[in-house]
Structure 1
Amino acid sequence: MTSISRKILPIITSLMLGITLTGATTMTMAQNTNPNLPVSMITQWDKTFAQSNQVEHRKVSFQNRYGITLVGDLYLPKNRGTHPLSAIAISGPFGAVKEQSSGLYAQTLAEKGFITLAFDPSYTGESGGQPRNVASPDINTEDFSAAVDFLGLQQEVDRNRIGILGICGLGGMALNAVAADTRIKAVATSVMYDMSRAMGYGVGDGKDRYSTKDRKAVQQYLNEQRWKDVESGTIHRSNHDIYVDQNGHVTAADRGLPEVLPENPHPVLKEFFEYYRMPRGFHQRSINSTGAWNTTMPLSFMNMPLLSYANEITIPTLIVTGEKAHSRYFAEDAFKAVGSKNKELLIVLNANHVDLYDNKARVIPFDKFTQFFKTNLK
């Protein structure tokens, strides 16, 4: 194995708190101990991007099939007329919240004429679910379908013209959702991750990192942690990207991102740090900004491949990634696997992974996303 300094450092995490970056907030719902109800519903604008005067914003909630209440931001064009519009459900990146990248995508596409919904996945942000800081290939896939349920019940939405867009790790969930949910008419991803592959085989410089022996060592490490958790009655949290040395010794950092960048940081660590830990993208409820996932979280991803039925995807598919994105190989392989005859892979020149989170003035191809959804949500 190569040294940690040469390995891609992970997408990371944080303890969910019902407060804003700037302090006092107005809540329509306080912290709730019911495991399936929202953690909070903050009505004050607390996004990492400026509010648009072209778009109406509503705070909303809805349930998935597992009874977990999800919280989202609904964006509607102010000059939308009286006819139902096409709609897009948006989520991601993995470990982020709707006040970050997905909200920016949603608000910008609403400016282009769509009704959009940016939502927090189960167990994260303002959405319900206990314990906190958990992800699931099944439940988070279902979250997209639950968002479609919600959109399809809105009088402003034409339920026959609904698409979805997944960013980073939620891109893989989006593709997984459309393999099963025939109500979704078009799907797009931005700098997608296949989280089953990422957790099961490790994220490397353009290729998988774990050998079969490494994979078993990681499973052993995670299952030993299960014993510790159940014996102590507590939940241990750590970085979900786990390292295996030449002797089979497994380690994981106690948090996703450090408080301070080390000297000569890996370029990918620097990318994530400059977004999640700096004012540019920091949000108190974002796992990636302030904390870590539950240590045992990768187990279900390692055992349940997300894109098993990608060849059965037949709807229009747009996969966008960056030329310099460390995740590019996930997007290229997913594109090959998707069965649709109407599919496109767009590689944004000179863009790294995190550039496509928020750098809309320079790299996010919003005109391309707009064209794709307008063409395919007729």
Structure 2
Amino acid sequence: MPMDTPDTNSSARAIQRRELLKLTGAGVAAFGAASLFNTPKAKAQIMTDEWDKVFPRSEKIDHEKVTFKNRYGITLSGDLYLPKNRADNRLPAIVVSGPFGAVKEQSSGLYAQTMAERGFVTLAFDPSFTGESGGEPRNVASPDINTEDFMAGVDYLGLHASVDRERIGVIGICGWGGMALNAVAADKRVKAVAASTMYDMTRVMSKGYNDSVTPEQRAQTLEQLSRQRWQDAEKGTPAYGPVSLELKGGEPQFVVEYADYYKTPRGFHRRAVNSNASWSLTTPLSFMNMPILTYIAEISPRPVLIVHGEKAHSRYFSETAFAAAAEPKELMIIPGANHTDLYDKVDVIPFDKLTSFFNQYLAA
């Protein structure tokens, strides 16, 4: 399809973008873009010291806001959680991030605080280009840079006085579950990794849910996304969609479940892409040609724990990843749970299992 010219009718542009949404299909739906009209340019957030999490603060931990840089020089913002009874001991530590389109004040912070209550130093961080972390333009994702973000978290924890750098693990949630597995395959400093309610974002963006996108649809999507780059370059800013997950009715059940988390007091946060913003239109480009789980077997001999809900629409991502991983590995299916139940439902998230897993494999 020819690229738009400056005098192209606005309705024609709208039709083109709606068609682009259909072509990118469920991959775009996965990160909340409901349609593809421009919105004002997103801006980086100023880091705040206030407790603005969607979960209550625990009295069992010490908390502080921290910053650290990744290998590309982007400053990342994190929440560091430390057990109160740590004394001068060097403790095992866990880097946590996700879900895709969330911020550290949501699910990753809940996981991090809970694991800190159980004796680990934990770091929940905002990935590059999102939340309080740096990077321009805003609300862009990258399979390479966001994998690097996990490794930068390992850098930070390995230099902390309360951490035993030889006992560091990683937890990735949703789309950051795939990033976590990719990071640990390359980063041999990490001793154990867990992925909860995992997505392989490179797979869903390139192939759609259940690999339903045809080669012809993929080619057409790449054609239009490539041409969108000219429009972005001409305007000097990426095109974005409207605020994510504003439901109109008739959406798939899993989208309704996303909205029930991100758009309600249960999980809404003003800095989260999925609550209050949208991804750049061309975000799928690098994901569509870079399968991040190619080397998952190279995590071995370090252990992998993959946790997923029995009723989750995304369960097949974890099953495929588990099949590709090498021993030692474990797949834990939570009876009756859907995808977002593992974001915040503390009676569903298997924290006892996560604790025993990391206690075993991060032992002194």
| 2:309 counterpart letter in structure 1 | G
The aligned residue for residue 256 of structure 1 is 244
The 5 A counterparts of 1:166-315 are 166-203=172-209, 207-238=210-241, 254-258=242-246, 261-314=247-300, 315=302
| 2:343 counterpart letter in structure 1 | Y
Inter-partner Cα distance in structure 2 for 1:161 and 1:77: 16
The aligned residue for residue 123 of structure 2 is 117
The aligned residue for residue 139 of structure 2 is 133
Structure 2 residue 305 is the aligned partner of structure 1 residue 318: yes
Structure 2 residue 359 is the aligned partner of structure 1 residue 371: no
Inter-partner Cα distance in structure 1 for 2:178 and 2:250: 31
Inter-partner Cα distance in structure 1 for 2:291 and 2:40: 27
SS at match of 2:227: helix
Residue 279 to residue 17, structure 1, CA distance change in 2 (3 Å): farther
Residue 15 to residue 71, structure 1, CA distance change in 2 (3 Å): farther
| 1:87 counterpart letter in structure 2 | A
The aligned residue for residue 80 of structure 2 is 74
Structure 2 residue 98 is the aligned partner of structure 1 residue 92: yes
Inter-partner Cα distance in structure 2 for 1:356 and 1:233: 39
Inter-partner Cα distance in structure 2 for 1:111 and 1:298: 37
Inter-partner Cα distance in structure 2 for 1:109 and 1:333: 27
Cα contact 2:243–2:275 (8 A) shared by 1: no
SS at match of 2:114: helix
Cα contact 1:15–1:287 (8 A) shared by 2: no
After alignment, is 42-51 or 308-317 more displaced?
A: 308-317
Q: Segments of 4+ in structure 1 off by > 6 A?
A: 13-18
The 5 A counterparts of 1:13-32 are none
The aligned residue for residue 12 of structure 1 is 32
Taking structure 1 as the reference length, what is the TM-score of the superposition? 0.85
| 1:67 counterpart letter in structure 2 | G
Inter-partner Cα distance in structure 2 for 1:269 and 1:174: 24
Structure 2 residue 155 is the aligned partner of structure 1 residue 149: yes
SS at match of 1:303: coil
- Identity, % of aligned positions: 58
Inter-partner Cα distance in structure 2 for 1:156 and 1:190: 26
CA deviation map 1:175-204 (0-9, x unaligned): 00111100000000001111110111112x
Inter-partner Cα distance in structure 2 for 1:53 and 1:355: 25
Inter-partner Cα distance in structure 1 for 2:179 and 2:40: 22
| 2:294 counterpart letter in structure 1 | S
Q: Select 1:353's aligned residue among 323, 334, 339.
A: 339
Cα contact 1:16–1:286 (8 A) shared by 2: no
The aligned residue for residue 12 of structure 2 is none
Inter-partner Cα distance in structure 2 for 1:110 and 1:175: 22
- Return the offset for 1:235: 1.3
Aligned residues: 333
Residue 217 to residue 255, structure 1, CA distance change in 2 (3 Å): farther
| 2:316 counterpart letter in structure 1 | Y
Taking structure 2 as the reference length, what is the TM-score of the superposition? 0.88
Structure 2 unaligned segments of length 5 or more: list them: 1-21, 34-38
The aligned residue for residue 243 of structure 1 is none
Cα contact 1:321–1:328 (8 A) shared by 2: yes
Structure 1 unaligned segments of length 5 or more: list them: 19-30, 32-38, 239-253
Inter-partner Cα distance in structure 2 for 1:51 and 1:280: 15
Inter-partner Cα distance in structure 1 for 2:251 and 2:187: 42
**Structure that is richer in helix per residue:** 2
| 1:131 counterpart letter in structure 2 | P
SS at match of 1:347: strand
- Return the offset for 1:256: 2.8
SS at match of 2:211: coil
Inter-partner Cα distance in structure 2 for 1:15 and 1:113: 43
Cα contact 1:120–1:126 (8 A) shared by 2: yes
Cα contact 2:31–2:279 (8 A) shared by 1: no
Structure 2 residue 320 is the aligned partner of structure 1 residue 333: yes
CA deviation map 1:266-293 (0-9, x unaligned): 2111101111011110000000001211
| 1:256 counterpart letter in structure 2 | S
Structure 2 residue 329 is the aligned partner of structure 1 residue 343: yes
CA RMSD of superposed structures (Å): 1.8
Cα contact 1:17–1:284 (8 A) shared by 2: no
